[in-house]
Structure 1
Amino acid sequence: MSELEVDAFWKDLRLSTQARIGLGRTGDSLPTRRVLEFRSAHAAARDAVHMPLEVETFSADVEKVGIGAPAVVTSRATSRAEYLRRPDLGRLPKDLGPISTGDFDVGFVLGDGLSPRALMDHGAAMLDALVTELSESYSIAPPVIATEARVALGDHIAEAMGVRTVVVLIGERPGLSVADSLGIYLTHLPAPGKSDADRNCISNIHPPEGLGYAQSAKIVAGLVGGARRLGRSGVALKDTSRADVLEATEKSTIEG
C-alpha cells in the first residue's frame, strides 16, 4: 500500500475512536505533529485536574435547574495540592452546617473531583436531565455542591440531607483522550462507611463523543427504581435500562 492509502485507511478508523491509532512515524520517531498533539492533550489533562471550580458561576447555573439554591460544602482537604496527596481527606466533610435536613427520596451532590472542568462543562446540564427524568416520581432535595470532593464524601452529605438515595455527579480522572468526563455514582440508603461495592457507577459522560445527558438520566432512573425495589444498590443492582431495546433487537434478528 502506498503512504496515501495507509493514511486514508487509518483516517477512516480514527472516526470511530478517540484512541491514538495509526500515528505514523518519521524514521524511528513519531511525526512532530503527533508529538505536539500528545503534549497538548497531556497539558489539558493536567489543567483539568488543577483548575479550581468557579463556585459562584456554577452555583448560579445549578440554581437555574429549579430544585433550590445549592448549599456549598468542602472536604477536609485544605488545598488542591493536599486533596491530590491525601485522598482520605477528600472523603470527609469539613462542615455540613450549610445543608438543610429534610425527608427526600433523592438527593444530588455535585463534586469537583479530579476534573472540576468536567463539572463546569456538564454538571448543570446533567442535573437538569436527571431532574426532568426523576421529579415526577420522587421527591428531590435541594442540591449540594462539594469542593475538593471524593465520591465517599457524598455519603456524609446524604446523611445530613436526609435522602434515601444519593446521586453524586463528579469530575472523573482526566485522560489523554478526554479531560472533561463526568461520572455519576448512585448509593441507596447512604451512610458513612459505605464501600464502592455499595454504589453503582455511570461513567464517560461528555457529549457529543461520550454518553449523553438524556441516556445517562434514563440509566439513573432505572437504577433508582431498582434500588428501591431491591432495598440496596451496588453489585446486586444491575442496569436494565436497555433491556427492552436488546430484546427487540434479538427478536428482530431471529425473525429476520
Structure 2
Amino acid sequence: MNQEQMEIKTPEYVSIQFQLAGLGSRAAAFIIDQLILTATNVLIILTTFLVMKATSDFSFFFEDNVFPIAIMVIVLFIINWGYFFVFEFFSGGKTIGKRALGIRVIQENGHSITLLSSFIRNLLRIIDSLPAGYLLGIMMIFLHRKHKRLGDLVAGTIVIHERKAKSKKKQTSIEKEIQNRELSKDKLILDDWTYRSYTAKDWKLLHTYANRFTQLPLDEKKQLTQQISKLLLPKMGLEVSEKTEEELENALLVLYLHLREEWEFEL
C-alpha cells in the first residue's frame, strides 16, 4: 500500500482507505488559519485600545487601564486556542484552512473526531509549537509514518484528505427517483450527535436499500422499507408507526443523501 494511504477496519468489519495529509497540505492549511487569527487578533487589539482611549476620562474604573488589557489577553487566548478546538469538533474535523485545502481530522478508527480528542489534540499545540514556530510539530509530522504530531499521537487522531463523492456523468436510477420526489437534505435536518450515531454498518444497509429501491417489487419494497425504518429512523427521533409508507421511504432516501456525503467516496 502507498505510504500516504492508510487502511482502517471499522468495528463493523468494513475496510476503508484514507489518504493521509502530509506536511505540505497541513502547513498550508495552518498558514490560512493563522492569517485569519492574526487579522482577528489585530482587530481585537485595535478595538481594545480605541475603547481605552475613548474611556480615558474614566481610567479610575479600569485601574490605570490594567483591566481592559487583562480582558483582551484572556479573549485573545480563548480565540487562538478555541478556534481550532471549536472548528474541528463542530465542523467535521475541518478548520477554515483545512476546508480550503480539502483535509480533515478524524479518529484513527475512522470515526469523526470526538469532543475529548479535539480538546486533547489542541491543548497539546502548546508543546507542538516548541521551541518556536511549531518546530517540534513540523519535525514529528515529517518523520512519523502517519504524519502525526504529538497532539495526534495522544488524542488518537489522523489528518486525511477529504473524501470526495464519486462523480457520475449520468444520474443513477435512485438519483432520478430522489429528484422526481423533490427530496433534498434540507427536508430532514440532522444535528451533529444524531449524525454521529450512524455507523458504517448503517450506511452499508442504507446504500444497499437505495441501490435496489427502484428495482424491487412493491410488496418486497414495502417490507424492506419497514424493516430498515425500524432500525435507522428511531435514531433521529422519528416514530415509524406514525408515518405512511411514502413518508418512510422519503425519510430513508433523505437520510441516504446525508450519509452518502460521509461514507461514499473515492480517494
Larger Rg: 2
TM-score by length of 2: 0.21
Q: TM-score, normalised by structure 1?
A: 0.22
Higher share in strand: 1
